[in-house]
Structure 1
């Protein structure tokens, strides 16, 4: 069915990623761009409303026929849950509460994670930082497919299958490409998510849990809102490795289509990325863009030059790091220090040591011996 993909390898390059240079040039020419950094004040309320709507739908559909639940999961719940995954993407850059409150952002991402039914928020942050810092670098950027994906998904039918199972590839690819030890926040994210899933199951029933979980799996696969996975970094011309899309889907995806702009300035909230393009149009108007995510889907499936191998790739600059920071433990340690726990502990330890020494070396001890 259709032509096989003609590529037999990734598009290897010796050049650095372009985003850092463009960021420097724009910041020098337009220093006011820094005013766009920071927090989207309405963002947290939009996310909270989406979480509330999903819980309301869990109550609403609990006794409905399974076919209706399935349709709701795809067309409604899936759309909302996919938007929540993109909200987690924005929160990973601390745009909900600002750079000075990283732990608050992490907990808010866990809250946004609840209707998704799978604990992804903290793990996503851990790997997404590497995606920006080491874009397309072999073994460091887990957004790039594995060689097995490039070798097997080479026909239109297989590429459709690959798109359908995209959530599984995104979930398990890091375990193959770049293994990292779980952090304390990841374990907490897992525990909170399981507790919420059990709450949904025992309060509303298995159909409501399927509505959330099924919606997530369906919406991250062969779903209109998921086509941005292809449009962002798959090279349709070998000239660029990042592409922007300026269509109406941005209205329900927190402007994820402004992907060139996002990689140039990741700390600008999604809502303000159009302002960046308006501020420095000469740096974006000349770049190739996508006009339609549907056209992207069609091109990816039917064009024999496009497949999982259609990604620019670089040799890694640094080694992989298995251990990550246990941020939550560090905050607890800082809080204990602030309230004087360590001072009291050291005083008690010193007091016990002095008294023990006096008992074992003093006059009473000598008389006994």
Structure 2
């Protein structure tokens, strides 16, 4: 990615997001894609194994020196926890139990949240619906950075700091951009999470709790997997506000890299998104995409054309918000 003129505002567009029209066109040509929609029961077993793995890891780190607790939090636990947040992403789309058992999905999301260390699942679900419905929507899509972030984090050093602080911006931004009432499910999520963390502390001390929370924070900052945050919707090429990534880290991240396909067909589980690309290859192969999340992070930091401002924004009318 070459350097260019530094951005001083978002890319404002006055067209609808492209995913709706492309979904309609692809389904008209390939109606068999509808067969890929629906739950993927295998996800709940994969997630359960990941939760169990992290509980075992908590036991193993209980007597390690602190430097090794932090090392394993970044190198191992953080990878699993970041992957778990992407499993929670699939769970928010009702993948484990299907649309007819929404409450089961929400409760399973709270279970999947346990290794993350901080309550996350219920709040993510509440805002993720808006991200799909109002992609880039001003005051609606909290995935888009604020104007303050765009103005402050504009140099390589500041953008690097912004990447480190991503977990905090993702937590605080919704409260500033689009605050919503706290739900009963969020209260339950928080209560269960605090009880789980307290149980770990009572059983094995502070190190397992720090291992989980530090792993989540570190792996959502400067970490190869966190490249997906930037790769998905930052405008690496003018005119495109969603990009896919076709690389090996999809194996660990529930195919979140197939992001163009996901936004076209949010009701298709991540495990089946490669089939969407294969069936409708002539739609996806010509589109720009990423092959390395590490390169994405490098380009984001050192290219003048990239930064928090490199996002497409739209203004939705009151009628569109209904």
Which band: TM-score by shorter chain? over 0.9
Q: Over aligned residue pairs, what C-alpha RMSD do you find?
A: 1.4
- CA shift, 1:239, in A, is 1.9
- CA shift, 1:317, in A, is 2.5
Provide the rounded CA distance (Å) in 1 between the counterparts of 2:77 and 2:309. Answer: 32
SS at match of 1:282: helix
Residue matched to 2:27: 27
SS at match of 1:143: coil
Residue matched to 1:366: none
Residue matched to 2:282: 282
Tell me: CA distance 1:313–1:57, structure 2 relative to 1, closer, same or farther (3 Å).
same
Provide the rounded CA distance (Å) in 1 between the counterparts of 2:191 and 2:232. Answer: 32
SS at match of 1:154: coil
Provide the rounded CA distance (Å) in 1 between the counterparts of 2:39 and 2:282. Answer: 26
Q: Are 2:230 and 1:230 equivalent residues in the alignment?
A: yes
User: Whose Rg is larger?
Assistant: 1
> After superposition, what is the alpha-carbon deviation per residue over 1:182-228, rounded to whole angstroms, capped at 9, x for unaligned?
01111111111111110111111101100001001101111111110
- CA shift, 1:5, in A, is 6.7
> After superposition, what is the alpha-carbon deviation per residue over 1:46-100, rounded to whole angstroms, capped at 9, x for unaligned?
1000000000011111011111111000000000000000000000000111111
Provide the rounded CA distance (Å) in 2 between the counterparts of 1:294 and 1:118. Answer: 26
Q: Are 2:118 and 1:118 equivalent residues in the alignment?
A: yes
Provide the rounded CA distance (Å) in 1 between the counterparts of 2:200 and 2:266. Answer: 34
Provide the rounded CA distance (Å) in 1 between the counterparts of 2:80 and 2:5. Answer: 33
Provide the rounded CA distance (Å) in 2 between the counterparts of 1:300 and 1:63. Answer: 39
Residue matched to 2:307: 307
What is the TM-score of this pair, normalised by structure 1? 0.85
- CA shift, 1:14, in A, is 0.5
Q: Is the 8 A contact 1:4 1:156 kept in 2?
A: no
> After superposition, what is the alpha-carbon deviation per residue over 1:4-37, rounded to whole angstroms, capped at 9, x for unaligned?
9711100000010000111111111111111100
Provide the rounded CA distance (Å) in 2 between the counterparts of 1:7 and 1:237. Answer: 13
Provide the rounded CA distance (Å) in 1 between the counterparts of 2:294 and 2:169. Answer: 21
- CA shift, 1:237, in A, is 1.4
- CA shift, 1:320, in A, is 11
- Corresponding residue pairs, total: 319
Residue matched to 2:208: 208
Provide the rounded CA distance (Å) in 1 between the counterparts of 2:140 and 2:185. Answer: 21
Provide the rounded CA distance (Å) in 1 between the counterparts of 2:239 and 2:40. Answer: 33
Provide the rounded CA distance (Å) in 2 between the counterparts of 1:221 and 1:80. Answer: 14
Residue matched to 1:332: none
- CA shift, 1:40, in A, is 1.6
Residue matched to 1:250: 250
Provide the rounded CA distance (Å) in 2 between the counterparts of 1:181 and 1:22. Answer: 34
Q: Is the 8 A contact 2:41 2:95 kept in 1?
A: no
Tell me: CA distance 1:240–1:289, structure 2 relative to 1, closer, same or farther (3 Å).
same
| Deviation beyond 2 Å, 4+ runs, structure 1 | 316-321
Provide the rounded CA distance (Å) in 2 between the counterparts of 1:13 and 1:203. Answer: 54
Tell me: CA distance 1:5–1:176, structure 2 relative to 1, closer, same or farther (3 Å).
farther
Q: Which structure has the higher relative contact order (CA within 8 Å, separation 6+)?
A: 2
- Structure 1 gaps, min length 5: 322-369
Alignment of 1:1-80 (within 5 A): 6-80=6-80
